[in-house]
Structure 1
Amino acid sequence: MPPELRRRCSDAGDPKYGGVSHDVHGRRRAGGVRCERVWLCLAVLVLVTAINLRGVVDSAKAFLVPTMLFVGAILALIVVGLFRDAPVSTASAAGHASALSDNATTVGALLLLKAFASGCSALTGVEAVANAVPSFRTPAVRRAQHTEVALGALLGIMLIGLSVLIGRFHLQPVHGVTVLAQLADASFGHNAAFYLLQFATMVLLALAANTSFGGLPVLMSLLARDNYLPHLFALKADRQVHRHGVLALTAASAALLVFSGGNTNALVPLFAIGVFVGFTICQTGMVRHWYRQRPAYWQAKAALNGLGALLTGIAAIVVTGTKLTDGAWLVVVALPLLVLAFEGIHRTYGRIGERLELGRIPQPPHRARSLVIVPVSGLSRLTSQALTAARSLGDEVLAVTVTHNDPEDRQAAETFRRDWELWDPGVELIEVPSTTRSLGRPLAAYIRNLSHHHDAQVTVLIPEAEPAHLWQRLLQNQRGAVVAHAVRRDTDAVICRLRFRLAPS
């Protein structure tokens, strides 16, 4: 078990970390976070990752059923609850202490701001539609707009409906029981419908990470396209999924889960702050966009985006202030560092573009004299194939072998030279002495020295046998990889690796 995870597991008995606690009657009650929760979270993370690696369509199909089950259960709860005059049951909250202070009689401005920020947190996720616009079918923008409107309407109906029922049944927050569980108990009663809603909620919360998997890899691809992230993140796999973005998100998520001991409540503020900061920046950018473009009714559009920037900015400040000591400081530190990293990557790509003269018309290509070097260590069909390919590629071909000073190696080198002269392939064999057992460095030094004295394009053709079965590759000596690494590191020669496929016997 990793040390960090072992430490988190050792905190299982501390109520601060979700260990064993007691209710108002002194009864022993299991805490929220245990060692097993970390492994459970990691297992769900692996499941979500595997589904997303299969592509957008397959992941959408996999998450459609639990999502529809949850939405249907919530709507049923609201409809049934509106016909209730009083709670059907309060069994779920029985015996649990109230989360309100005994002297909580007034509502202050700070509490209102905190409630506003927490309410805004419930609406996070709508940004995933905007991030995933490139994943929509044509017309992508129109489809994304319809999806955003439908999502906003559905969230509004559920949030307002649940809020009405909370006031209707006079529910209060209690330790150890969610408000949604109290609402289900009050509307349905403590029966099968109650447990069905709890199960649907559990499954949906477990799969809620798919929101990030659907949006962040696409966003990372856009940043990579604009040279703010490595271009690797802009690549798509065969299933039209940004695989490297998905894997990077998985690694970061796993690290956060282990660091927090599986306590997702501690991670929610980190997520909310990042979302609200992003919302504020986007809305501010839209205000600048409308001001510069000035289309019809641009004042109303700018005012709407300005109001959105103000509200989300307030939410970001409130959440950061109230959760600063609970881990929000990590976001405060991480965001500037990420911006600096993005700027550093962008400057690096800018310098590379200048060296490559991107965006300019280059000089016309011309034919240069070519010299092909073939590393050899013995005579075989592979050697013959390599020399045949080399003679078709270059004006001049040299075969190079590395020799050592050991008596046994000297005898083998003399035998190899005699066999080469008897074979007479029409290619000169060059012996490169090595005082050590190294293979790549002496060869790279010879090629570098040769490049300085020859006005020709040097190409190193490395012959390699490719076994028919994957496990047989473990039997190879990897000489080709060693030579290729040394030549790439120490010279400017072109590297060509010739694969000789071995047919299965």
Structure 2
Amino acid sequence: MYTTLKRWIIGKPLKSEQLKEEKLPIWKALPILSSDALSSVAYGTEQILTVLVVAGSMALWYSLPISGAIVGLLFLLILSYRQVIDQYPGGGGAYIVSMDNIGWFAGTIAGASLLVDYTLTVAVSVTAGAAAITSAVPILHDHAVLLSVSFVLLIMILNLRGLRESGTIFAFPTYMFIIGILSLILVGIFNVLKGGIPANVPPVTSHLPEGLTWFLLLRAFSSGCSALTGIEAISNATPTFRPPETKHAARTLALLGVLLATLFAGVSLLAYLYHLTPDPKQTIISQIAEQTFGRTIPYYYVQATTALILILAANTAYSGFPLLASIMAKDKLMPRMFMTRGDRLNFSNGIIALSIAAIVLILAFGGDIDRLIPLYAIGVFTSFTLAQLGMVRRWLKHKPTGWRTKLAINATGAVVCFIVLMIFAITKFHEGAWLIVLVIPMFILLFSQIYRHYQGIADELRLDRSTEKPVTQDQLLIIPVGGVNRVVRNTISYAKSLEVEAVALYIAFEKEDQEKMKNKWAEWDPGIPLEVTYSPYRSVIQPLLDFVDQMKARNKNCQITVLIPQFIPRRWWHNLLHNQTALMIRFILLWKRDVVIGTVPFHLKK
């Protein structure tokens, strides 16, 4: 039943040789790896205005120069990550760059930042998507959290089906969103040119209006930089492209830069020209679309595609998180289960872990996007800064042809990203950024403990093949029995075929059962002696452990093996009707030193 359900949900398993078929062309890679960055158009401008509106309508025009500065930073990051793609085609982005050029500590910071970033990408994206839906359908406003959790589960299932299949599903909503926002910008600007600039547009001022401080401007800039999240995803996932991977990844990154700059700048311009301010029950995109189209079909098209892109933007994280987790697992910083590919040739454990973490965040923050975004961007710019700094170190060390120009690009990027990071840390600290400052060191401590564990295991398991040969020992089998039946006969038959010393153990809960069992055993006479012990507290585990210790003390040179008889029901649900004593015994004995545990199954037919 489990297998059938699994196949129905995620599809048939793929052969390892089919991995190359899962590689992405540019037209599929753009929606999968760029949907996070493109979707930030839906809330980037709104984040700027949310801060500026505190100082009054006279401050709103500053959204334009702030947006211009963010677009400039965008192109700087595009150039910088173009160089990361060239130098590190194996993916991993900031983590690999930092680990390779700066060192272990910087690499773990970058890895932790990216993992947090990806988790928050899912939480922020689906929460923003739910907000877009509730803006158009206000009756759903009280169910936003439930909507968000449902979207996470849906995207998880789609990603478990594989990259190629999910790419096809996600491609069309992304392109529909691009068409919708471009149309909105063009029609909106045409309407303004045709009808003239509205009279209520805030005037351009040459000095800061009363109430607007430099600190507030920096807060607005840092909030708007949330529009830059997701840019690093393409360099992180370069191996997912079709060959030549670096060429296709670079083209996709350039295309993303042009699209994101156009859409973000256009939305900021229209928000200013329409003199819009944030509304808790209606997003800025919704207000722009309503001003441009009215509540007509084009309005609902924009809202629907915006909701879709925001929800599907989480898919960027589903491409990056599992791949990064697998790379870090190879470096012994994450559990090894993240290295394993699932039936559909994806890193399914990473996909599931990301989904669970995102759902926990959504529930913990009540689906409030304004509380999630401050956490979101500080992790992003930490990885941005370390990636640029790592590239600076690389150019200074290797000095390839044209290294000075490359150094200038990455050095400028490192300085600017660090400044933005500091602005975030200071201006957003009380809004929740302190949590990231706390979480990232916790991740680093966790990574170090995992690494130490794997190193300790490697040291202990390492074998000197020239001197350490297999050794043989006398064996003593202990067979716990619950009666005289076919399950026990099956186990004793196997034990006798091994031709080693064996003893059966019966644990009686009532004193009269001791003699009854001895008589039954003597009558059956299987050729193996029986030991009977009384358990006044009706426990199986402790008397068995005591007996094992007694046998070890009597037979110091013997290897003790506990051979457990176990019947296997025909149907899975039959297990619910029986005590799981065999499983409990196995679990307890696994933690006992110098004892081998074996199970002899007996499959029932009815």
The TM-score, its normalising length taken from structure 2, stands at 0.68
Work out the CA distance in 2 between the residues paired with 1:31 and 1:281. Answer: 42
Deviation track 1:152-198 (CA, whole Å, cap 9, x = no partner) reads: 3332343344456567xx24341315443454356555532122111
Higher relative contact order (CA 8 A, sep 6+): 2
Select the residue among 235, 249, 254 that pairs with 2:359.
254
Is the 2:161–2:344 Cα contact (8 Å) retained in structure 1? yes
Partner of 1:312: 417
8 A contact 2:278–2:284 mirrored in 1: no
Confirm or deny: 8 A CA contact 1:49 1:250 kept in the other structure: yes
Which of 137, 147, 154 lines up with 2:259 in the alignment?
Answer: 154
1:329 and 2:434 aligned = yes
Shift of 1:125: 1.0
The change in CA–CA distance for 1:388 and 1:347 in structure 2 (over 3 A counts) is same
Selected match of 1:205 from 282, 290, 310: 310
Instruction: Find the counterpart in structure 2 of residue 418 from structure 1.
Output: 519
Q: In structure 2, how many angstroms separate the alpha carbons of the residues matched to 1:203 and 1:342? A: 35
Q: Which residue of 2 aligns with 1:20?
A: none
For residue 39 of structure 1, report the CA deviation from its aligned partner: 2.0
Give the conservation status (yes or no) of the 8 Å contact 2:514–2:534: no
Give the alignment of 1:57-72 within 5 angstroms: 57-72=164-179
Structure 1, 264-273 or 149-158: larger mean CA deviation: 149-158
3-state SS of the aligned residue for 1:494? strand
Q: Distance in 2 between matches of 1:380 and 1:275?
A: 64
In structure 2, the CA distance between the partners of 1:415 and 1:97, relative to structure 1 (3 Å rule), is farther
Deviates more, 1:465-474 or 1:227-236: 227-236
Amino acid in the other structure paired with 2:590: R
> d(CA) in 2 for partners of 1:71 and 1:335?
35
Q: Deviations over 1:479-505 (max 9, x none)?
A: 1012112212233312222222223x4
Tell me the distance in 2 between the aligned counterparts of 1:104 and 1:359: 76
Is the Cα–Cα contact under 8 Å of residues 89 and 189 in structure 1 kept in the other structure?
no
TM-superposed deviation, 1:136: 4.5
How far did 1:54 drift?
3.0
**Match of 2:145?**
38
Please state how far the C-alpha of 1:347 moved relative to its aligned partner. 2.0
Q: Any stretches of 5+ residues in structure 2 without a counterpart? A: 1-56, 58-134
Q: For 2:314 and 2:584, how far apart are their aligned partners in 1?
A: 42
Q: 2:275 aligns with which of 172, 176, 186?
A: 172
Q: What secondary structure, in the 3-state scheme, does the structure 1 residue paired with 2:377 have?
A: helix
- The alpha-carbon deviation at position 70 of structure 1 amounts to 0.7
Looking at structure 1, the residues matched to 257 and 466 of structure 2 have their Cα atoms a distance apart, in angstroms, of: 49
Change in 2 beyond 3 A, CA 1:48/1:34: same
Question: Using a 3 Å threshold, how does the CA distance of structure 1 residues 403 and 235 change in structure 2: closer, same or farther?
Answer: same
Pick one of 351, 371, 384 that aligns with 1:279: 384
Structure 1, unaligned stretches of length 5 or more?
A: 1-23
Q: Distance in 1 between matches of 2:392 and 2:486?
A: 69
The answer to whether the Cα contact below 8 Å between 1:280 and 1:313 also exists between their aligned partners in 2 is yes
Which of 428, 441, 464 is the matching residue for 2:542? 441
Deviation at 1:216, TM superposition (A): 1.5
Cα 1:59/1:362, change in 2 over 3 Å: farther
Amino acid at match of 1:267: L
> Among residues 507, 511, 530, which one is paired with 1:429 in the alignment?
530
Pick aligned residue for 2:154 from 47, 50, 56: 47
TM-superposed deviation, 1:82: 5.3
The answer to whether the aligner puts 1:342 opposite 2:434 as a matched pair is: no
Match of 1:477 among 579, 592, 606: 579
Equivalent residue number for residue 368 of structure 2: 263
* Aligned positions of 1:113-152 closer than 5 A: 113-136=218-241, 140-152=245-257
What CA distance in whole angstroms lies between the structure 2 residues aligned with 1:54 and 1:79?
37
Q: Using the TM superposition, name which of 266-275 and 395-404 deviates more.
A: 395-404
CA shift for structure 1 position 73: 1.2
Residues in 2 aligned to 1:273 and 1:32: alpha-carbon distance in whole angstroms: 34
- Using the alignment, how far apart are the partners of 1:130 and 1:252 within structure 2? 23
Question: Residue 62 of structure 1 aligns to which amino acid in structure 2?
Answer: I
Asked if structure 2 preserves the Cα contact closer than 8 Å seen for 1:33 and 1:261, the reply is no
Q: Aligned-pair distance for 1:465?
A: 1.1
Contact 1:462 1:495 in 2 (8 A): yes
Instruction: Call closer, same or farther: CA 1:86–1:360 in 2, change over 3 Å.
Output: farther
Query: Which deviations, in whole Å up to 9, do the C-alpha atoms of 1:49-92 show, x marking residues without a partner?
Result: 3323333333333322322211121233344445445377999x
- Name the SS of the counterpart of 2:545 in structure 1: helix
1:410-439 residue CA offsets vs partner (Å, 9 max, x unmatched): x33323222222322222223344343111
- Structure 2: which amino acid aligns with 1:488? L
Structure 1 residue identity aligned to 2:389: T
* Gap change, CA 1:428 and 1:330, over 3 Å in 2: same
Distance 2:312 2:214 in 1: 35
Pair 1:378-2:483 in alignment: yes
Query: Which moved further from structure 2: 335-344 or 427-436?
Result: 427-436
Q: Compared with structure 1, are the counterparts of its residues 285 and 392 closer, same or farther at alpha carbon in structure 2 (3 Å cutoff)?
A: farther
Q: 1:104 to 1:359 in 2, by over 3 A?
A: farther
Counting only pairs closer than 5 Å after superposition, residues 72-83 of structure 1 correspond to structure 2 as 72-81=179-188, 83=190
Aligned partner of residue 454 in structure 1, secondary structure: coil
Query: 1:98-140 CA distances to partner (integer Å, 9 max, x unpaired)?
Result: 9x9x983798654554454344321211222333345455655
State how far apart, in whole Å, the 1-side matches of 2:467 and 2:196 are. Answer: 78
The answer as to 2:591 corresponding to 1:486 is no
Aligned equivalents of 1:139 and 1:283: distance in 2? 24
| Superposition deviation, residue 305 in structure 1 | 2.3
Q: Report whether the alignment pairs 1:229 with 2:330.
A: no
> Residue 270 of structure 1 contacts residue 331 of structure 1 at CA under 8 Å; is this kept in 2?
yes
Greater CA deviation, 387-396 or 441-450?
A: 387-396
Which structure has more helix as a fraction of its residues?
2
Give, as a single letter, the amino acid of the residue that structure 2 aligns with 1:59.
Answer: S
Q: Partner amino acid for 1:54? A: R
CA RMSD, 1 decimal: 3.6
8 A Cα contact 2:218 2:427, kept in partner:
no
The list of structure 1 runs, each at least 4 consecutive aligned residues, that deviate by more than 6 angstroms after superposition, is: 29-33, 87-91, 105-108, 358-362
SS in 1 for 2:193: coil
